[in-house]
Each structure stands twice: as structure tokens, then as C-alpha cells.
Structure 1
């Protein structure tokens, strides 16, 4: 969270995760005057994941400026699921829980495979 850029909200958020190869990746929220393009800490964490070699997330925590654990929003839960799956352990205010509890029956890459749909992606 020390690298957060928060000139508008003054609400720094930091995120860190353990990768399956033992690396730690991190992120911080990066605000923008056009609030809709602000990046959350989880987004910059996933960018760090790929910029440092990729892999799967296995454990995750996100905190505010006072070090209090935060709950990822729905968008961020989806982002974390994509890169950690059901077994990703999240530190939540209530304790450590797997992604399968935080985002039950999640939609993911497997739903887009041609095998999962029979005849391939739906055409609109």
C-alpha cells in the first residue's frame, strides 16, 4: 500500500499474493482523475504476476492504509479466481477461506472451452 497513488480518496490499498512457484506478487490501488479508469490493488497485483513470469496464485491478502484486511469486490473476486481458481486461499476479515467459498460456482475459462459448450462459443 506504500506505493498506492491515491490523491483523490486518500484511501491506500495494498494487496499481496503467494504464487505457486514461491514468489510474492503485490499491487496497490492507482487512482485517476477519471475515476472509472482507476486501478484497484488486485488489478496491479495480477499485472505484477504476469510481468514477473506468470503462474497461479495460491494465497491472497488485501489491506487498507491501517493494515486492516479488506474484502475484494465482486470484480476483483472474478479476477482473482481467473488466476488462482477455487483453491486460492483468501485472508478475509472473518478468517482464511478458499475462493470456492468467496465466489461459489464461479464462471471461468472452462466455461468458454468448446468442450464445455459442445459446439464451441455461442454466436451473437
Structure 2
């Protein structure tokens, strides 16, 4: 499924609303039941109100009642595979298992695969 998610993440980035940074991000996630949700970053003139592509996809899935998230792919127009911000890493930790696969994608199509736990070891959730 990763190849499909990569294509869908790239496709999602084309819908990004990025009039300030001109830095589109796209994400596609797969639920354990086979549903796919896409998301893009959506900027706001008040930068703190901007939402990242990863969180858009996750929030879409959760708002539709899907808490069984399995895998996510994230695309950025970066020389190296995109690195999610800290807020996105923490949200992924909330909704994915630590072993869930995360595929990071560069503008040339190169990918790096890791897990949610790789992205945020010793996360806040683990402190409960």
C-alpha cells in the first residue's frame, strides 16, 4: 500500500493553500479498515493558525470516526525526504501505534521509511 500512499500524498500537496510560505505539503493515511484520507497544509495570515498536511489528514480521519490508523505517507518539496514538525509528531503519537509505518517523501520521489516511535522516542504519551 505504500506506493499508493506515496502517490496520494503527492496528489494531496497540489491542493495545499500556501500563499505565504509557498511550501506545499501533502499526506495520505491508511486506516486498518482500508480507508484512505488525504490532507494538505492550510496556511493562515496568523501563522499560528496554520495546519500541517499530516494533521489535516489525521483530523479528517478522526472526525469521520476512524481511530484505527495504520500508516501515513508525507510529501514535501524538499531536497531530502520531508521531516514532520514536532506538533505533527505528537499528534501521530496520539493516533498511531508506535510501530506504525511513516513514509517520508522528497520532491524527487526518494523515500525514507520509519515508525512513529522513530520520529518521537520517549513521547509524552509514554509518560502516562
Q: What TM-score, normalized by structure 1, do the two folds share?
A: 0.78
1:39 is matched with 51
After TM superposition, list the pairs within 5 Å mapping 1:25-64 onto structure 2.
25-64=37-76
Is 1:103 equivalent to 2:115 in the alignment?
no
Shift of 1:55: 2.2
Instruction: Quote the RMSD (CA, aligned, Å).
Output: 2.3
Is 1:24 equivalent to 2:41 in the alignment?
no
Matched position secondary structure for 2:60? helix
Larger Rg: 1
Counterpart contact for 2:29–2:72, Cα < 8 Å: yes
Instruction: Give CA-to-partner distance per residue, 1:5-29, whole Å, 9 cap, x none.
Output: 1111111110111111111111100
Count of equivalent residues: 111
Uncovered stretches (5+) of structure 2, i.e. residues with no partner: 1-12, 106-110
**Comparing both chains, which one has the higher relative contact order based on Cα–Cα distances under 8 Å and sequence gaps of 6 or more?**
2
Uncovered stretches (5+) of structure 1, i.e. residues with no partner: 112-124
Counterpart contact for 1:58–1:87, Cα < 8 Å: no
Which one has a larger percent helix, Structure 1 or Structure 2? 2
Counterpart contact for 2:81–2:112, Cα < 8 Å: no
Matched position secondary structure for 1:85? strand
